[in-house]
């Protein structure tokens, strides 16, 4: 059986992205991420996904230093993604500089805009989740109709154009309405990926098709639905895992990779990291059956409050996004 860790997808700028990436949101102590990264690289992962917001970049930096020093892997054989958080919307290069310093790197392979919103923050992006006195989120721009998120993307373009700090740029958590606002305003460099929540319970085929028809590769986060792995309870995933003699996690990853998308998996369990790397050859028909699970009964697990109003479907508690309809 082929290994998911060996599959690469071509980006619109001609570069390649490994189709299986290790997620690095800490489950508990952020320092645990160091061992997770070392374990993953030894198991064949070549793609590490992180963000300033996760607070794990320093520990990823320690892991990278160790694997480079021990000659386990070279920098150029890894693909490393980081992201600029909305409270840094005014100064993404400063955010990238902080990430690079913590990671101990001269460049990342991919720099993403984490969310298309502008939260209030100081020059160091603090506080990351700013609140007004009444407890509501403190924005620097109207979260539904504002356009400052486009200014942030333009700054990412400038970083790509004028520095060597990143090889590619992209976006995350962009809905179709937000893409429709951004794409006509791009100066020169289109986003190579859109990183979104995607799994059999949340197929979002309209958004996937919209991106793919414009050459934007989909990077699927929460392939098993995040903490508690609710997606693994889907009976069809269990059935396919038995049929192909792999773990349910490998079915959840294959659902994306065989459809030409990147899957980001995360685990605090080192033995799980080592053993969720195979790529079973699920049939076209089975892939379609997995897709139908969420068409009938969609579930979104990441419903962060700053995502309200972005125009996503099935956003829990959202009333604002209907304004886009
Ligand atoms: P997953 O869907 O892989 O969920 C990981 C969680 O599932 C962990 O808590 C893990 O627990 C648990 N899990 C996995 N397999 C099993 C299993 N077999 N049995 C029980 N529990 C299991 O991923 P994430 O939601 O973390 O997303 C992956 C990555 O995507 C993130 O780390 C991050 O890098 C990125 N991301 C990006 C976002 C964005 O806004 N751009 C938002 C969210 C994620 P355990 O630790 O015990 O294995």
pLDDT digit string, tens, across residues 221-258: 999 999 999 999 999 999 999 999 999 999 999 999 99
Ligand 1 contact via 222 beta carbon (within 6 Å): yes
With b for 16 or more beta-carbon neighbours within 10 A and e for fewer, the 157-169 pattern comes to: bbbbeeeebbbbb
290 lines ligand 1 (CB under 6 A): no
| Predicted local distance difference test score (pLDDT) of residue 322 | 46
pLDDT for 3 = 97
CA atoms within 13 A on the CB side of 1: 15
Protein residue closest via CA to atom 34 of ligand 1: 23
pTM of the entire predicted model? 0.97
The count of domains in the chain is: 1
Ligand 1 atom with minimal separation from the 25 CA: 32
Whether 269 has a pLDDT exceeding 50, the answer reads yes
Please report whether residue 321 resides in a domain: no
Q: Is the pLDDT of residue 110 over 70?
A: yes
Atom in ligand 1 nearest the alpha carbon of residue 83: 41
What is the C-alpha to C-alpha distance for residues 82 and 239, in angstroms, rounded to an integer?
A: 35
Distance from the alpha carbon of residue 27 to the mean position of ligand 1, in angstroms: 9
Across 25-39, 185-199, 254-268, 304-318, least confident range? 304-318
Distance in Å from the first CA to the final CA of the chain: 45
Q: Measured between alpha carbons, how far is 167 from 113 in angstroms, rounded to an integer?
A: 14
pLDDT higher than 70, residue 318: no
Q: Is residue 316 part of a domain?
A: no
Number of residues that make up the chain: 325
| Structural domain contains residue 14 | yes
320 lines ligand 1 (CB under 6 A): no
For this complex, say whether ipTM is above 0.95: yes
CB-based contact 9:217 (threshold 8 Å): yes
- Domain assignment present for residue 189? The answer is yes
Q: Residue 308: its pLDDT value, please?
A: 83
CATH number, domain with residue 220: 3.20.20.100
User: Could you tell me the pLDDT band of residue 144, with boundaries at 50, 70 and 90?
Assistant: confident
Annotated binding site for substrate: 114
Whether 325 is in a domain gets the answer no
Any atom of ligand 1 within 6 Å of the Cβ of 238:
no
Range of the domain at 285: 4-307
């Amino acid at each position: 059986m082929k290994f998911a860790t060996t599959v690469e997808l071509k980006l619109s700028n001609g570069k390649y992205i490994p189709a299986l990436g290790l997620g690095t949101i800490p489950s508990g102590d952020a320092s645990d991420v160091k061992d997770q990264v070392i374990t993953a690289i030894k198991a064949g992962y070549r793609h590490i996904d992180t963000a300033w917001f996760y607070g794990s970049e320093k520990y990823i930096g320690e892991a990278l230093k160790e694997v480079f020093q021990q000659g386990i892997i070279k920098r150029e054989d890894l693909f490393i993604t980081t992201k600029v958080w909305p409270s840094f919307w005014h100064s993404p290069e400063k955010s990238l500089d902080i990430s690079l310093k913590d990671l101990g790197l001269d460049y990342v392979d991919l720099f993403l805009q984490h969310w298309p919103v502008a939260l209030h923050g100081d020059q160091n992006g603090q506080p990351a989740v700013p609140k007004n006195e009444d407890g509501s989120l403190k924005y620097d721009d109207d979260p539904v109709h504002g356009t400052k998120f486009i200014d942030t993307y333009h700054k990412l373009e400038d970083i790509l154009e004028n520095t060597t700090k990143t090889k590619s740029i992209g976006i995350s958590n962009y809905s179709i309405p937000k893409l429709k606002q951004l794409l006509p305003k791009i100066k020169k460099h289109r986003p190579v990926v859109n990183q979104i929540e995607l799994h059999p319970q949340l197929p979002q085929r309209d958004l996937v098709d919209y991106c793919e028809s414009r050459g934007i590769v989909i990077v699927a986060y929460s392939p098993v639905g995040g903490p508690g792995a609710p997606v693994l309870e889907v009976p069809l995933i269990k059935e396919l895992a038995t049929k192909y003699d792999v773990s349910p996690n490998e079915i959840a990853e294959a659902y994306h990779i065989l459809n030409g998308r990147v899957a980001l998996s995360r685990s605090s369990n080192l033995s799980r990291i080592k053993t969720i790397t195979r790529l079973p050859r699920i049939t076209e028909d089975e892939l379609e059956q997995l897709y139908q699970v969420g068409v009938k009964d969609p579930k979104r697990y990441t419903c962060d409050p700053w995502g309200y109003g972005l125009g996503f479907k099935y956003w829990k508690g959202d009333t604002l996004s209907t304004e886009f309809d």
